[in-house]
């Protein structure tokens, strides 16, 4: 595939997974780093995300865990909590994944990620979550 075809393929994947949220990230880069926006679409989604070895819901679980562990990724977490819902994860599964992340990356990061998820769930009228154990 040429550069434009890679971008178009990535955009198809991005739209399926992230919908409007992913496009907003790409748009936000247009006047500062259009090449970074291109790479997000063509490489991250067109090449990496589209690989068949993991289904989209598993990729989103990995992504949520990594973004939580990194910390400071609230904008991306918001996009990927929405994406996780879009690819079939339930709010309870997302909440449980973020709870589980506390064991490996600490309470503050798990709390921050959970509060991002709460914002997304509220926007999508998915609260309350009742996965008390």
pLDDT digits (tens, 9 = 90+) for 35-88: 999 999 999 999 999 999 999 999 999 999 999 999 999 999 999 999 999 999
Write down the pLDDT at residue 87: 96
- For 52, the 3-state DSSP assignment is coil
pTM across the whole model: 0.90
How far, in Å, are 55, 73, 126 from residue 25 at the CA level? 23, 13, 23
The answer to whether the CB of 110 falls within 8 A of the CB of 99 is yes
Return the half-sphere exposure (C-beta side, CA atoms, 13 A cut-off) of residue 64: 33
Task: Quote the CA–CA distance of 69 and 29 in Å, as a whole number.
Answer: 24
Grade residue 133 by pLDDT with cuts at 50, 70 and 90.
low
Q: Is the pLDDT of residue 107 over 80?
A: yes
Find the angle CA(109)-CA(106)-CA(133) to the nearest 5 degrees: 95
């Amino acid at each position: 595939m040429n550069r434009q075809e890679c971008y178009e393929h990535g955009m198809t994947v991005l739209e399926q997974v992230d919908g409007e949220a992913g496009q907003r990230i790409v748009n936000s880069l247009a006047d500062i780093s259009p090449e970074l926006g291109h790479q997000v679409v063509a490489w991250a989604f067109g090449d990496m995300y589209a690989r068949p070895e993991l289904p989209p819901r598993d990729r989103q679980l990995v992504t949520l865990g990594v973004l939580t562990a990194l910390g400071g990724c609230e904008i991306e977490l918001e996009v990927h909590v929405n994406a996780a819902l879009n690819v079939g994860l339930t709010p309870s599964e997302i909440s449980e994944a973020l709870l589980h992340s506390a064991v490996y990356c600490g309470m503050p990061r798990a709390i921050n990620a959970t509060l991002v998820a709460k914002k997304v769930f509220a926007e999508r009228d998915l609260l309350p979550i009742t996965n008390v154990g």
